[in-house]
Amino acid sequence: MISLQKFTFNPYQENTYVLFDESKECVIIDPGMYDGSEQNQLASFIKENGLKPVLLLNTHCHIDHVLGNKFVFDNWGLKPQFHQGELYILQAVPGYAPQMGMRYELSPEPETFLPESGTLSFGNSQLELIFAPGHSPAHLCFYAKEDNFLIGGDVLFYQSIGRTDLPGGNHQQLINSIKQQLFVLPNDCEVFPGHGPSTTIGFEKLNNPFLR
């Protein structure tokens, strides 16, 4: 069984997730730590629970989701994994970070890119890859099928959807991704998004004003 710990970091109030199971191996997804106190929060949680980070995953590579990539690499030697279509999004971050008044420690680039579908393993657990572009050009979600929850990044939010006015965004593509890739999941699947509270697939089918 996968346990999940959520942290909310940085000025964008981005959700960073740590997933782990009884093996104590863990996955860090979208590390958004921005300052020393946030870095300490994550590191302390991992240390206090005796966890061993084995994967660093990015759903996509906007600045608020990659601010902590360098910290994770420095501490645990993990390079990020994401879909290759996000690489130019990551490479653009140093150019716009100063304009936004953000300090940015350069993220390492992947040695391994993730495909559009397939599975990732850690400990005794598996995550399925779901390709859901629209908010960003090659956005991935991570579905824990046995535990029936989704790490959704910035695709589907509680009564909202990801913005599509950033480079590589496409509104219709995002709507299609949600309806064709996410709304086929069980209604009681819990969605843990990149911002804000969790929700469920069934609730958003009925109540999301963008998807009626």
CATH number at residue 13: 3.60.15.10
pLDDT-derived band at 212, boundaries 50, 70, 90: confident
Phi then psi dihedrals of residue 183, to 5 deg? -75, 0
Residue 212 falls within a domain, yes or no?
Answer: no
CA distance 174 to 152: 12
CA distance 171 to 166: 10
pLDDT (average), residues 5-33: 98
Cross-strand pairs, 131: 140
- The predicted-structure confidence for 117-161, as pLDDT tens digits, reads as follows 999 999 999 999 999 999 999 999 999 999 999 999 999 999 999
Residue showing tokens 């069934």: 202
Residue 140 falls within a domain, yes or no?
Answer: yes
Residue 197 falls within a domain, yes or no?
Answer: yes
Q: How many structural domains is the chain composed of?
A: 1
Handedness of CA 109, 90, 204, 11 (dihedral sign): positive
pLDDT-derived band at 18, boundaries 50, 70, 90: very high
Cross-strand pairs, 39: none
Q: Which domain holds residue 80?
A: 3-207
CA distance 88 to 170: 16
